[in-house]
Chains A and B, each alone.
Chain A
Amino acid sequence: MAVVAATFVFAIVGVFAGPSDLSFQDTYNGLMRSDDGVMTTVVWSIRIPRVILSVLVGASLGLSGVLIQLSTRSPIGDPNLFGIGGGAVIFMAAVTVGLISIPVYGVFLGAMASSLIVALFLTALSSNRNLTPVKFAIMGIAVGALMVSLGTSVISYGRVFPSQVIGLVAGSFSASSWQLIYFLTCSLFACLAGSLVFSSRLLPITLGDDIAKSLGVNPIKTRIYLMSIAAALAGSSVYAGGLIGFVALISPHIGRRFVGNSPVSLILISAFTGGLLTLLSDQVARLLFAPIELPVGLATTMLGAPLMMYLAWRYK
């Protein structure tokens, strides 16, 4: 509950704070649409979409992270660290430089499909009986680095604006819109429903494949389902906000401290924690050196990396 409440509080702060020099009263007027001028546009077309989108993207990442961590038994499971988001980066880069030209919803679906390809490759790897979670993590990180370098290569080939490059590989919500919110809402809630359907299988596969089987859970099929959901979430988050690191990795660890490992609670708290962290990071990225914006991925990394170090230090 505290996480949900904090999300709302910071969402309101996010709407009222910004680089345009608006007073509280101005923003309030904009919010109430009491004029048809600049305030209404700033509030309803820039600030509110941005706040909502950062929460949706963060929630997608948090959910994606918990699914990957439980299904691969790796505490550092993160779609953007393991190249699943990177698959979408390559696709988005190809769209940005004009190599691929398709309608908007096609780009959205294409980003998810590209992530799915990488996720299924990793799933095939993780189903090898001799692959320990540590080896899997090392291979995932290698795949992740490969994906980002391929994506960056595509961008370099296209000679696009540096801001677009940074937005894609380091994350940005500066292009938030109601259409993006619509897409992300659809993907997030579909994936959340899917995760809840499979929630009873999460702990059995965390106990290892042999035990899962004797509990009546097919580990390979379950992992394919869960990783596919995680990929859809990662792909849609890259589509909406670029590559945002560490949110997926740390959200489940933070959430677990509040609710333990009860699967449904853990799924929900990971999503909410991800949403809150991303919202906070985006506000920091937006306001710290206003009017110059930092890429939100840098802010999440500045927040996430020390937290991860703390968790690793405490983890036995």
Chain B
Amino acid sequence: MITLSNAVVEIEHLKILQGVSFEISPNSFYCLVGPNGSGKTTVLKLIMKILQVNSGNVDTVDPKDISYLPQNLPDPPFLSVGEVISVAIKKNNKGSDSRQEILDALAEQFHLEGLLERNFSDISAGEKQRVWLAFAIAQEKDMIIMDEPLSSVDRNSREEFYSLLKEVSLEGRTLLVVTHDIDMALHYADKIISLQGGRVVFDGSPSEFVS
């Protein structure tokens, strides 16, 4: 369980968050929505202990136990697509014979079959995001936090990946996904938290969000 209570963050006299409170309870799919500059990424950084609150309180888990995908990740140099994903698998799976099977299964799930041998920096932006998504899922951690993970993926595949994330949450994992995609959030999330100007303006189920 992750709890933010009245979290205030100021960066260079600019109030990014002005008293944000919400709770993330286990085994649910949360979408964090809101316009640019509303403080979504800052909230994630608080949870990951990258930033500290100026006042208020953040009760979170060890960042090591969270699979975190920040926005605009730099390309890892040297590595192939398969090698990038393998780094995540290696951390949790000691049996070396099954590693390749896990990699192949992930490749199939995220439509990366033909790309595993390619250099990561050579593939397209949408493909890179799919690799990172596979990377985040491969870590097999109970909590997954992602910052706009599908912004460069085309609309048709986005639908598919959201349903895949939904399945992941049904396996008993907790997801917190920052997105601009209200449609997807309404359709797939269990809970929606909406931020505006550094405050929570909505926190509830998709059906409540519509009304």
Contact = CB atoms under 8 A, between A and B. Distances in A.
A216 B122 CA distance: 28
Interface stretch (A69-77, A104-112, A223-231, A273-281): A69-77
Contact of A214 (B66, B78, B84): B66
Interface in A179-235: 203-204, 206-208, 210-211, 213-216
B83 A75 contact: no
B24 interface: no
A82 to B, nearest CB: 16
Given A203-B87, A207-B84, A316-B119, A216 B64 contact: yes
Interface residues of B, number: 25
A214 B77 contact: no
A261 interface: yes
Q: Residue among A133, A204, A211, A260 with the most chain B CB within 10 A? A: A211
A23 interface: no
Interface in B90-134: 91, 119, 121-122
B73 interface: yes
Nearest to A252: B78
Contacts of A215: 64, 87-88, 91, 139
B79 A261 contact: yes
Nearest to B145: A214
A214 B68 CA distance: 6
B63 interface: yes
Given A203-B83, A204-B87, A316-B121, A211 B73 contact: yes
B73 A214 contact: no
Contact of A256 (B66, B76, B78, B135): B78
B29 to A, nearest CB: 19
A256 B83 CA distance: 13
Interface in B56-75: 63-64, 66-68, 70, 73-74
A48 B85 CA distance: 46
A73 B73 CA distance: 13
A214 B48 contact: yes
Contacts of B67: 214
B146 to A, nearest CB: 11
A101 interface: no
B91 A261 contact: no
A24 B87 CA distance: 52
B76 A210 contact: no
Nearest to A216: B64
Given A75-B77, A206-B79, 13 more contacts: A203-B79, A203-B87, A206-B76, A206-B77, A208-B73, A208-B76, A210-B50, A211-B73, A214-B66, A215-B139, A260-B83, A261-B83, A316-B121
27 contacts: A69-B77, A70-B78, A73-B77, A74-B77, A75-B77, A133-B77, A203-B79, A203-B83, A206-B76, A206-B79, A207-B76, A207-B87, A208-B73, A210-B48, A211-B68, A211-B73, A214-B66, A214-B68, A215-B64, A215-B87, A215-B91, A216-B91, A261-B78, A261-B79, A261-B80, A261-B83, A316-B121
Interface of B: 48, 50, 63-64, 66-68, 70, 73-74, 76-80, 83-84, 87-88, 91, 119, 121-122, 135, 139
Of all A-B residue pairs in the complex, the 4 with the closest CB atoms, nearest first, are A214-B68, A216-B64, A203-B87, A210-B70
